[in-house]
Amino acid sequence: MSEIVKVQVPLISNDPAEHALVYAEGRKRVVQQPLDYTTKQLMGNDSKAFFEAEFRRGKWTIGKRVKDRDW
């Protein structure tokens, strides 16, 4: 089942893996995970964005970008 998630990348980081914080509304299923090339491209220069995603095996599978939410 698809949910809307917020993807946040750190403004400054020395982490070579460039992990992002990904979670659903209410901070459900908070995960730090690397982003795939497509998600990075969809985010552009934004430090946070919202996407459709599915939670599987302890991580989010991120789909298309959606309109920003107020949470």
Report the predicted TM-score, pTM, of the whole model to 2 decimal places. Answer: 0.91
Number of domains in the chain: 1
Q: Is residue 36 part of a domain?
A: yes
69 pLDDT tier (thresholds 50, 70, 90): very high
Alpha-carbon dihedral angle through residues 23, 53, 60, 15, given to the nearest 10 degrees: -70
pLDDT at residue 46 is higher than 80: yes
pLDDT tens sequence across 10-27: 988 777 667 999 999 999
Domain extent at residue 22: 3-66
Q: Note the pLDDT of residue 66.
A: 98
Nearest of 59, 54, 70 to residue 1 by alpha carbon: 54
Q: Is residue 51 part of a domain?
A: yes
Residue 71 lies in a domain: no
What HEC string does the chain produce?
CCEEEEEECCCCCCCCCCEEEEEEHHHEEEEEEECCHHHHHHHCCCCEEEEEEEEECCEEEEEEEECCCCC
